[in-house]
Amino acid sequence: MDARDRGLVVVTKDADFSQRVLVQGPPPSVIHVRVGNMRLRELRALLAVSWQKAVQLSETHCLVQVFKDRIEAVR
């Protein structure tokens, strides 16, 4: 059983998942954290600010991309 079968959302820094969902479509939905290398403390601070919005968007979009300065979503 995988994320698709369980209705889960994949959270990743790996671009392969984003490309897959764009080509094959959901499920699963993907939250792609696109911030490059950063300290764990900085990553936690970024996600503390943007996580709720990213999760909310993942409910209606197949791909949510979290950047340092913005969040983008693709249906």
Lowest mean pLDDT among 18-22, 30-34, 39-43, 48-52: 18-22
More confidently predicted of 49 and 24: 49
Q: Is the pLDDT of residue 63 over 90?
A: yes
Residue 17 pLDDT class (50, 70, 90 cuts): confident
Element (H, E) at 31: strand 29-33
DSSP three-state, residue 38: coil
Alpha helices in the chain (DSSP H): 3-6, 15-24, 40-58
Q: What range defines the domain where residue 65 resides?
A: 3-74
Q: Is the pLDDT of residue 6 over 90?
A: no
What's the domain count of the chain? 1
